[in-house]
Structure 1
Amino acid sequence: MRQSRLFGKTLREDPKDEVAANARLLERGGFVYKSMAGVYEYLPLGLRVLERINTIIREEMNAIGGQEMLLSALQPKERWEKSGRWKALGEEVMYQFKDHSGRELGLGATHEEVVAEIATRSIHSYKDLPLFIYQIQTKFRDELRAKSGLMRGREFFMKDLYSFHADAADLERFYWKLADRAYRAVFKRCGLDVYITEASGGTFTKEFTHEYQVLSDAGEDLIFYCANPKCRYAQNREIATLEEGGRCAKCDGGKIRTGKSIEVGNIFRLGTKYAEAMGLFYADKNGEKRPVVMGSYGIGPGRVMATIVETHHDAQGIIWPDPVAPYAAHLIVIGNQELKIRNQGEKLYGRFVKAGIAVLYDDREDKTTGEKFADADLIGIPWRIVVSPKTIEKKGVEIKRRGDTTQKIMSVAEMLKKIK
């Protein structure tokens, strides 16, 4: 992609109304545009990051047998009344209104009722179980405190997976398979160090749930966690029985610490609450009618993106981990007013494209060297590749890893091999 044609320009100053690092850097870097509190537009750079996160999520959900679908955001009141959540969520976060005919509708803040209703057409026998379906869809929540950039929004993306089981034992097996394997893999690939944290079930379930928390001073949560790296037991402040400075009961020795954290995912054992409300039953091996046991599992891709920025940045800008970066390399041409240098930059750009390496090519002629380097640091692409009179003289290119303080010159072939 030629940077001269890129939609979404960098800003020299931080947005005045933003405090959170993710909001400041994503807006300044041309990744997002803020429409109002809690609502952001994803520009091309931001969408590339979001889609890379979504690809990681899809790969890990598919690996455990998940099937992707897409549900409607607009939902009728009657469906939510069956579960008893229309009033409760309406008083908290659900957007509710009437259409022109006077019918009451809501914008989905979550989809347990919907999937349970739809599943009544597919699940009839124990032979139809277990079943795992998921979506990546826009959610709407009327947040009173829409702040902290992409971390708390009124309109946002959510990956929600729903599992259907014959009994609680089968749910428990899948619950921990997803918790220990799939979700850990997602966050590790995104460059996030998570604590699986015991938490309250809220309006979803009366049981304890688990949140995936990332330690960060930008977080709104507070967790108590075991400092033993082999244990990592953690509890949310809401339900904590652990005490700071005390000893961990799980590993019998680790010291308990507290820290602010960001929730990037959560998982719930729903039991039969929604199945019974929506009429989702199956016939067991003896032909007896039983309610389906359900689980719900969420990840917020936008919040993941924000958390990556909060935990991977410096004074100059973002430092994207390779798996989620918008491009693998940022090619910068210095002195491209000269035909020889410009031709060398164009030639190298062509080699990147031919090699299948995603590259952002800074071909802008109206920017100084300092401005180009500052933008490269702000945008945070992993590798900065420079073509200049100096590199042409040495028959190579300058390569620098974002976050490093040194750079070196190497041949084009060596550079392409290193990046690829």
Structure 2
Amino acid sequence: MRMSQTVIRPDKNPPKDAATINHRLLVQAGFVRQLTAGIYTYLPWGLRVLRKIEQVVREEMNAIGGEELLMPMLHPAGIWKQSGGWDSIDVLYKLKSRTGKEYALGQSQEEVVTPLMSEFINSYKDLPRAVYHIQWKFRDELRAKSGILRGREFYMKDMYSWHESQEDFEKFYEEAKKAYLKIFSRLGLVAKATEASGGSFSDKISYEFEVLTEAGEANILYCDECEFCVNVDDIGKYDEGGECPSCGKGLLKPSKAAEVGNIFDLGEKYVKAFGLQFSDQEGKKRYPVMGCYGIGISRTMGVIVERFNDERGIVWPESVAPFMVSLVSLGVGEKAEEIYQQLVKGGVEVLWDDREESAGVKFADADLIGNPYRVVVSERTLADGEVEIKRRDSDTTERVKLGELVDRLI
């Protein structure tokens, strides 16, 4: 992509209402724009990041047997009344059509997916089954804040599974937990898995996946050796500095954390509400055990920015960066064009700053945007048949021969 051909322009001035790092940097660098509190437009570069996070999640959900589908955002009120959620969930957006019919904007999909799957789950032979979708969700938050960490409209992955027995569910539950930890690791994040009550979803134990960040809303104690952590509000039996009850090796340390995912044991709550039953091997009708598994994709994007930044801007991990390279050309347009085409043909994602701007502006914008590598093309470097390359997370520059550039970056 050529910066001269995009409407996006990085801005050195932070938005006046930005109270968090992710809000400030994502707006300044040209990734998002806030329409109103808790509602954002994702600009082309921001959408690229969102799609890359989404793809990592998709790959790991597929790997444990999830089948992707796409469910609607607009739900008839009847299914929410049938589950009891219409009157019990205070963050549910409710609206009425011109014909007087009531609807909800989806804040979760249990009410949609359960009756849907009753068409396909009839026998023990149809189990286990897991489906997921990646879609926008809506919650009537009283205090939308922290940039894209807590919005009224947000992008999320929801997966649901059904099992013949509690034992089979718990086996899949562990597979999902491992998949979640792998997802966050691929995204460059260290996530901790904390046990929590199921809240409005379930009375059973659930896991929340927390990433350590000062922008988070949770106060936790976490193990410095394994993924274990506990919410400070739920841990009367744990002390700061105490031994980890999970691995027995690490010590429990305090931190702020942001939730990026969760998995719930829903038991029979929704399958009973919607009459989803299967015939077991003896021909008896039974309710399957149901679970749900969520990851906040847009929220995770915000957490990544909170975790990876410096005084100059964002420092994207390679797995989610909008581009691998910021190509900066200084007065050598024709040769820079050749190098740009060379990189594109070599499969390297490139953002070429071909604008008529000073070197200082181009370098500052490259740092603000935060692509993993900056490649500088100038008359000085070309005199030796080389370009200058620098990692965004390093202050060290090096020279690379033109013929070796693509191999250096892939």
TM (norm. structure 1) is 0.96
SS of residue matched to 2:319: helix
C-alpha distance in 1, partners of 2:24/2:162?
41
Contact 1:213–1:261, Cα closer than 8 Å, also in 2: yes
C-alpha distance in 2, partners of 1:146/1:43?
20
Instruction: Determine the structure 2 residue equivalent to 1:30.
Output: 30
C-alpha distance in 2, partners of 1:299/1:234?
18
Of 194, 198, 201, the match for 1:197: 194
Instruction: Determine the structure 1 residue equivalent to 2:124.
Output: 126
Instruction: Determine the structure 2 residue equivalent to 1:377.
Output: 367
Instruction: Determine the structure 2 residue equivalent to 1:338.
Output: none
C-alpha distance in 2, partners of 1:185/1:249?
22
- The one-letter code sitting in structure 2 at the alignment partner of 1:327 is F
Of 193, 213, 218, the match for 1:216: 213
SS of residue matched to 1:115: helix
Contact 1:69–1:133, Cα closer than 8 Å, also in 2: yes
Instruction: Determine the structure 1 residue equivalent to 2:105.
Output: 107
Of 172, 175, 179, the match for 2:173: 175
Deviation of 1:278 (Å): 0.6
Deviations 1:60-92 (A, max 9, x none): 111111110111111111111111111111xx2
RMSD: 1.1
Deviation of 1:12 (Å): 1.5
Deviations 1:192-212 (A, max 9, x none): 000011112110000121011
Q: After the TM superposition, which residues 44-193 of structure 1 pair with which residues of structure 2 at under 5 Å, given as runs?
A: 44-89=44-89, 92-180=90-178, 182-193=179-190
Unaligned runs of 5+ in 1: 336-340
- The one-letter code sitting in structure 2 at the alignment partner of 1:21 is I
Deviation of 1:253 (Å): 5.5
Deviation of 1:8 (Å): 1.8
Instruction: Determine the structure 1 residue equivalent to 2:20.
Output: 20
Of 234, 242, 246, the match for 1:239: 234
Instruction: Determine the structure 2 residue equivalent to 1:351.
Output: 342
C-alpha distance in 2, partners of 1:238/1:6?
47
C-alpha distance in 1, partners of 2:321/2:205?
35
Residue 360 of structure 1 pairs with residue 351 of structure 2: yes
TM (norm. structure 2) is 0.98
- The one-letter code sitting in structure 2 at the alignment partner of 1:13 is N
SS of residue matched to 1:322: coil
Deviation of 1:407 (Å): 0.6
Q: After the TM superposition, which residues 333-344 of structure 1 pair with which residues of structure 2 at under 5 Å, given as runs?
A: 333-335=329-331, 341-344=332-335
Contact 2:191–2:227, Cα closer than 8 Å, also in 1: no
Q: After the TM superposition, which residues 242-391 of structure 1 pair with which residues of structure 2 at under 5 Å, given as runs?
A: 242-252=238-248, 254-335=250-331, 341-365=332-356, 367-391=357-381
- The one-letter code sitting in structure 2 at the alignment partner of 1:363 is D
Runs of 4+ in structure 1 displaced over 6 angstroms? none
Deviation of 1:251 (Å): 3.5
- The one-letter code sitting in structure 1 at the alignment partner of 2:86 is W
Contact 1:31–1:42, Cα closer than 8 Å, also in 2: yes
Contact 1:246–1:255, Cα closer than 8 Å, also in 2: yes
Unaligned runs of 5+ in 2: none
Residue 4 of structure 1 pairs with residue 1 of structure 2: no
SS of residue matched to 1:364: coil
SS of residue matched to 1:121: coil
Deviations 1:114-165 (A, max 9, x none): 1111011000000000001000000000111101011000001010000011
Deviation of 1:235 (Å): 1.2
Deviation of 1:415 (Å): 2.1
Deviation of 1:414 (Å): 2.0
C-alpha distance in 1, partners of 2:406/2:124?
53
SS of residue matched to 2:312: coil
Q: Percent identity between the aligned chains?
A: 47
Deviation of 1:394 (Å): 1.7
Contact 2:15–2:28, Cα closer than 8 Å, also in 1: yes
Deviation of 1:382 (Å): 0.5
Contact 2:38–2:148, Cα closer than 8 Å, also in 1: yes
